[in-house]
Amino acid sequence: MYVFTVRASLSYKIYLLNYLLSMVQSIKEVMNSSLSEYTGSETTKTICEDAIKEKYGSAEIKNMDCYHNIRTFHSWLKLGFKVRRGEKAIRSITYVEQKDSNGNILKKYKRPVFLFYYRQVEKVGPTK
């Protein structure tokens, strides 16, 4: 969080306020943006609910939407966000199917997935 001092110029303060406003607007855009890679797994939803409830409290569960605001690291990067320093991922699993040329499933194997909630990311912004 930015703390304004008397020494900071007025133009820089305006610049920072505009940046913070754009962050809030961009989070709203993410909520209305394209869907994530989530496929509707109840296990993943339960894992995410438990992690969010533990970190942010049960009131935050009503804001949780697995299709929009829980994404992988690279998915957030593509949208112009970065994970805040020190944030820990919500770990889940997905099952990947290996198919032959005819489309028959040969093998299913587990693959870990590391997810981040929208409150764990911030807009990639200006540096000074």
Q: Decide: pTM greater than 0.85.
A: no
In a domain, 70, yes or no: yes
State how far the Cα of 70 lies from the Cα of 59, in Å rounded to an integer.
17
In a domain, 73, yes or no: yes
Q: How many Cα atoms occupy the beta-carbon half-sphere of 57 within 13 Å?
A: 1
State how far the Cα of 18 lies from the Cα of 113, in Å rounded to an integer.
35
In a domain, 59, yes or no: yes
In a domain, 63, yes or no: yes
How many domains does the chain contain in total? 1
Closest CA to 112 of 68, 67, 73, 54: 73
76-85 long-range contacts (CB < 8 A, ≥24 apart) are 76/116, 76/121, 79/30, 79/33, 80/26, 80/123, 80/124, 81/26, 81/30, 81/121, 81/122, 81/123, 81/124, 82/121, 82/122, 82/124, 83/116, 83/120, 83/121, 84/120, 84/121, 84/122
Range of the domain at 73: 10-123
Do residues 111 and 96 touch, judged by C-beta distance below 8 A? yes
For 54-77, what is each residue's pLDDT tens digit? 999 999 999 888 888 899 999 899
In a domain, 5, yes or no: no
In a domain, 1, yes or no: no
Enter the DSSP assignment of 127: -
Structure tokens at 41: 């797994």
In a domain, 4, yes or no: no
For 101-113, what is each residue's pLDDT tens digit? 898 988 988 989 9
Structure tokens at 7: 């020494």
Q: What is the mean pLDDT of each run of 10 residues along the chain (128 residues)?
A: 57 68 61 67 89 92 87 90 94 88 89 92 76
In a domain, 3, yes or no: no
